[in-house]
Structure 1
Amino acid sequence: MSDDAPDSLIPYDEIVQEALRAVVGRVLGEVETTGALPGNHHFYITFKTAAPGVDIPKHLKERFPDEMTIVIQNRFWELKVTEEGFEVGLSFNQLPAKLVIPFAAITGFHDPAVNFALQFHVQGDDSEPEEHDEAENDHPVAAPVEDGSNVVSVDFSRKK
């Protein structure tokens, strides 16, 4: 694209982000319906802990004030998916916790079983994410996504 391209009056970035977040919702909805993850599939979901609608225990919010990654694999319960987001029960240091995460708060979704990943931009947050530890709820950190994988990253930067 050239620097002379006019700003779009159609919010393509928002439309695409919303559509890709629907992928996450559909995948989680399938897991909710069947009650289990198929085959070796498991999910790393990264989200902004301070985003509107996020509800996590205080000790997790204190440990992860900006961003947190959870793993949905072996030990999770009460997964409930709505149009706006999802709720899930996970264990952290053998303490059960209920997390409520709106889809709009998600910054990353990765299924290492098939090397599929989506990355999102959270509206209203132009800052760089802080480095953070993984939440370590039930699986070690995933291997990094390699070039040539099924990674979809959408970033429509508006020229000013």
Structure 2
Amino acid sequence: MSQDIDYGNLMHTAMRGLIKTVLTSVADNGLPGAHHFFITFDTREDGVQLADWLRDRYPEEMTIVMQHWFENLEVGDDGFAITLNFGDAPEPLYIPYASIKTFVDPSVEFGLRFESPEEEEEVEAVVEEDSIEVEEEPGQHDAEVVSLDSFRK
């Protein structure tokens, strides 16, 4: 009996563990130095909790910034809770790790990107057509993003 090792799933689990570790440190010690995070998540994912007006405004995905003002950061096994300020109105959020699409710390040019099975199929279809061309703007330095596609066969 032969089984394949699901490296993609193992990487997702490890990357979510890294996010949990980083957020736990921030909850315990605050953000060090210039570190700050951009976290994009799927608002349709089971377990996401946010105000109705935010869900109406961001029906598919939302990016939050953890930098100058946030409070009540509570890190759990499956996700984290945080209160952020939206136009001088504090709003509590709960974000499951499974809903996170990107986690970026631009202060050190670090980033993680999680791709759903649908996105992976779209990427494979484009690769099969062999029509991918990527051009980088001169002088543009984005955060490095780790993609699981480079580890898949």
**Does the pair score TM above 0.5?**
yes
The alpha carbon displacement at 1:85 in A equals: 0.7
Match of 1:46 in 2: 40
Match of 1:97 in 2: 91
Where do residues 1-160 of structure 1 align in structure 2 (5 Å cutoff)?
Answer: 9-34=4-29, 36-122=30-116, 125-126=118-119, 146=142, 150-155=144-149
Greater share of residues in helix: 2
Considering only aligned residues, what root-mean-square deviation do their CA atoms show, in Å?
2.2
Instruction: List runs of 5+ in structure 2 lacking aligned partners.
Output: 123-139
CA distance in 2, matches of 1:155, 1:63: 31
The alpha carbon displacement at 1:156 in A equals: 7.1
CA distance in 2, matches of 1:107, 1:145: 21
Give aligned pairs, total.
Answer: 133
Deviations 1:121-141 (CA, angstroms, capped at 9, x unpaired): 246x5498xxxxxxxxxxxxx
SS at match of 1:68: strand
1:45 partner amino acid: I
CA distance in 1, matches of 2:104, 2:7: 23
Conservation of the 8 A alpha-carbon contact between 1:13 and 1:156: no
Deviations 1:43-82 (CA, angstroms, capped at 9, x unpaired): 0000000001100110110000001000001110000001
CA distance in 2, matches of 1:121, 1:18: 13
TM-score when normalising by structure 1: 0.75
TM-score when normalising by structure 2: 0.79
CA distance in 2, matches of 1:70, 1:100: 12
The alpha carbon displacement at 1:152 in A equals: 1.0
SS at match of 1:59: helix
Overall identity of the aligned pairs, in %: 41
Match of 1:139 in 2: none
